[in-house]
Structures are given as structure tokens and as C-alpha cells.
Amino acid sequence: MGRYFGTDGIRGRTGTWPMTPEFALRLGHAVGEVLGRQTPGPVLVGKDTRVSGYMFESAMESGLAAAGTDVALLGPMPTPAIAYLTRTFRAAAGVVISASHNPYEDNGFKFFTPEGDKLPDEMERAIEERLDQPMGALDSHRLGKAVRIADAAGRYIEFCKSAIPARSELRGLCMVVDCAHGATYNVTPQVFDELGAEVETMGVQPDGYNINDDCGALYPEQLRLRVLATGAHLGIALDGDGDRVIMVDETGEIVDGDEILGILALSDHADGVFTGGVVGTQMSNLGLELALGAASIPFVRARVGDRYVLEELRRNGWHLGGEGSGHIVCLTHTTTGDGTVAALRVAHLMHRTGRPLSELRKVVRKCPQVLINVPVEGQAAPLLEAPTVQAMVQQVSAELGRDGRVLLRPSGTEPLVRVMVEGGDGEQVERAAQRIADAIRDALSAAPVDLRTAHR
């Protein structure tokens, strides 16, 4: 990670540096200088529904214009929509003002290249270097202009629908769609409605403060209850910016990203149309790897983050990858995680085969896995290297043996250390994860870290 850039752009608490109007202004200018001058065309700027989006949108627009870069404003739009529209508008770059699954108090910036890909490290470094230089403004005749794109939602809806074969429909399928009061509230329900599904909605009344608030992909419990109460065939839960999805089957069971990956890969393999392999992450459940291996489908693990999944897909020439959190990348159709597209592909498979989601998900038998998030202040890497923490990890790994895994990693988006333990015995895994989490808390208490190095 860079000085400002984390695993997925720049993110932090609104009002605390760097998530301030001044920084957004300077960032817009730096992006205009670095990206706007490399490729002709405007920079597209979209956002999710958090209240601070208005402020950051205006500041970003001003910075870009000061650098002589034209701006096309999209308003509230899902992150994958901005990746798609950046390509189709032949834009110089795409900017998403969003903190994804974080609460409304946070916000952030994500960026896309003209091809709709996340920025490579060298471009992020160039932007950070430009941020260190004085900011000015061009003469009036060279300033950028701004326009607002009125039909962005309609373009993205048609793009999503093209993810399934032409003339396909979902008539007779009943679903509940939870948009987390986020950026998908005005597009995803329309995608399924226009394909003939019977759609009941949740989380489609954003007020600037309720994004991801006990709803969406991180909190699917209310969706699960609504699916059971309505007798729907499935539930779909998106996060605040729409790049991840968690599903609920007709029995009320949660279907996560690892299971969705298995469903998509193994159904295509059974139909004889799957090529290549699947990319997961260090956090992917061992059960997914075993299910794919049984079908002789190659599987590799990337670092956590959809940008690293994408890099590994491109390196291998494959087309399907994702994370248990619900980032699903289908390179046959998208260039980034797209929760709507992934959910649509699963719903179409259900409709085409007549098989319920509870049956489709059985292709992946997940191993017991426990994830504990330990809040930290400051940089986590020195904390994870503490002798007491390392000793506990070694002890737990020895107890789990060859059938278990332990993974510790700092979050790239929140001030957390993520403790993941996986193995064959659920109770043993739970106890092991708690012991490691306690060791991290004890190390944190014994050696407080500098608050000035808090996460970006």
C-alpha cells in the first residue's frame, strides 16, 4: 500500500485527513494531471448515496477542472457501472466516490483506467507524487468543463441484462433484492423486473446516513427473514457500492461468494463451456478448492482484494474469480466485481434448470471457517510480528495439522486485523481463532502504536 492508497483506492473517516474537501480538491487536480493528460476524453465521476458524497463530488470536480480535464458526472451509480461506462464513453479515467461496505461516516475514492481496470501501482504512485507538488489552475480558456450524464442508469441496466443469453427471461422467479440503501437502489431492481422476475425490494430508500446500516451484503439477516416470510425463491443482498453480493436460498440459508463461484464454475464445467481455472484469495474456503479440484478445475489463491484477483486472472488467461465476501469477477462480461451480474447469472441458472438455489449450492461443501476482526490503532504489521502472537499462531497451526489453515492480515480498508482459522472441527476452529484474537489484543495493550499511522 502507498501513503494514501490502500488495497482498494483511498478510504477513511470523513472529516479526518485525507478524507477532507481540501484533499479531494488536490486529489482531483493530481488525477487530472496524471490521468487526464494521458488519454483524451473526460473523467467520469460517480458516487454512492452517503451524505458526504455531495461534498467530495464538488471538490473532485473542481480539482479536475483546474487541471484542464473535462468531467462527466454520473450521480449515484454502482462501482461496476462506472467501470463499464468508463470504457463505453472512451473516458480518460473513472472515479468512484464510495467507501463500499463501510458505514456512512466513512468515504473514499476508487479509480478506473480507460479500459475499466483498477489503477496499476505505478499510476497510484504517480498520483501520490503529484499530490506532494503545489496545486495551481490553468488559464480560463484551458479549464475543464463539466456535464451531467442523464442516461447512465439505463445504459448500465442494459449492460447487466446482456450477461445472460438474448431473449432469456426470469418469469416465474420470485426474489427479494436488498440494495443496502446504496448505489444500486435505482438500477438493480429494474434489471430483474425487466427480465420478468417478481421483485420485492429492501434497502431502496437512501437518506445519506442509512447506507449499509444493518442491511445489504454485510448484514443479510433481515433479507433472510424476508425470504422466509414471503416464500421467495431467493434473496439477493448487495453492498453499498454494488460490487459484491451475498445470496439467500429458499430455505433461508446464506450463500456466500465462495459458493457462488463454485456454482458458476461447476455449472459451466458440466455444460462443457468452462475453460481455464478459478482464482480465489487467501481467505477462500478450502471447500471451494476441494470441489473444483474434484472436477479437475485449476484453482489459485491471490491476495485479498478484487484487484489482485483480476491481476491473477489476467496472468493466467482465465475469466472467473472472486472472494467469499461476494466480489465476483466474470471477465467474460465485466472488468471488476459486479454483484448484480453475478446474481443475475445464478438466477438465470436457477430459471434455466429449474433447480432451487439450495440444491445448486451443494456443489461446495464448506469447511468450518471462523473470521474475527480485531480493531487496532495504527499499523498492524508490527503487531502481527509480536513474538507472543507468532507463538500462538504456531501453536494453533500445529494443533490443526494438515487439514487446517491460519491466516492473519491487516485490512486494507478498515482499522482491523482479520484473523481467519479453518479446519475440520468447527468447535476447535472457533476456540483457536479466539485464542489468536486474544493474543493480538494482549499485544496491542502491551505496545500501543502511533495513532498518526492509522489506516488509510
- Residue 39 sits in a domain whose CATH number is 3.40.120.10
User: Quick one: 136 and 193 in the same domain?
Assistant: no
Q: In what order do the strands lie in the sheet with 299-302?
A: 299-302, 278-281, 320-322, 328-330
Q: Which cell is 402 given?
A: 494438515
Q: Assess if residue 191 is contained within a domain.
A: yes
User: Quick one: 98 and 175 in the same domain?
Assistant: no
User: Quick one: 289 and 421 in the same domain?
Assistant: no
The catalytic residues are 100
Contact 403, 423 (CB under 8 A): yes
Note the pLDDT of residue 83.
Answer: 97
User: CA-CA distance, 61 to 76, in Å (whole number)?
Assistant: 15
User: Quick one: 183 and 227 in the same domain?
Assistant: yes
User: Quick one: 18 and 79 in the same domain?
Assistant: yes
User: Quick one: 252 and 335 in the same domain?
Assistant: yes
User: Quick one: 265 and 124 in the same domain?
Assistant: no
* Residue where a domain terminates, one of 105, 132, 150: 150
Q: Which cell is 182 given?
A: 446504496
User: Quick one: 430 and 335 in the same domain?
Assistant: no
Instruction: Give the closest residue to 340 by CA, choosing from 195, 211, 187, 233.
Output: 187
Enclosing domain of residue 64? 10-150
Contact 260, 328 (CB under 8 A): yes
* Residue where a domain terminates, one of 134, 150, 166: 150
SS3 174: strand
* Residue where a domain terminates, one of 363, 389, 413: 363
User: Quick one: 322 and 410 in the same domain?
Assistant: no
Q: Which cell is 26 given?
A: 488536490
Q: Assess if residue 3 is contained within a domain.
A: no
User: Quick one: 334 and 357 in the same domain?
Assistant: yes
Q: Is the dihedral of CA 165, 168, 169, 170 positive or negative?
A: negative
- 340 sits in which H/E element: helix 339-353
Residue 436: CATH number of its domain: 3.30.310.50
User: CA-CA distance, 378 to 285, in Å (whole number)?
Assistant: 29
Q: Assess if residue 264 is contained within a domain.
A: yes
User: Quick one: 176 and 138 in the same domain?
Assistant: no
Q: Assess if residue 2 is contained within a domain.
A: no
Cα angle: 236, vertex 238, 241; to 5 degrees: 160
Q: In what order do the strands lie in the sheet with 416-422?
A: 369-375, 416-422, 405-410
User: Quick one: 332 and 282 in the same domain?
Assistant: yes
Q: Assess if residue 4 is contained within a domain.
A: no
Q: Assess if residue 1 is contained within a domain.
A: no
Peptide bond into 368 cis (omega under 30): no
User: CA-CA distance, 11 to 17, in Å (whole number)?
Assistant: 10
Consecutive 10-residue averages of pLDDT for the chain (456 residues): 85 97 98 90 98 98 97 98 97 97 97 94 95 95 96 97 95 98 98 98 98 98 98 98 98 98 98 97 93 97 90 96 96 95 98 98 94 82 87 94 88 84 93 96 74 37
261 Cβ contact list (under 8 Å, min separation 6): 278, 280, 284, 288, 320, 321, 322, 328
pTM, 2 dp: 0.88
Domains in the chain: how many in total?
Answer: 3
Residue with cell 490503532: 377
Q: Assess if residue 269 is contained within a domain.
A: yes
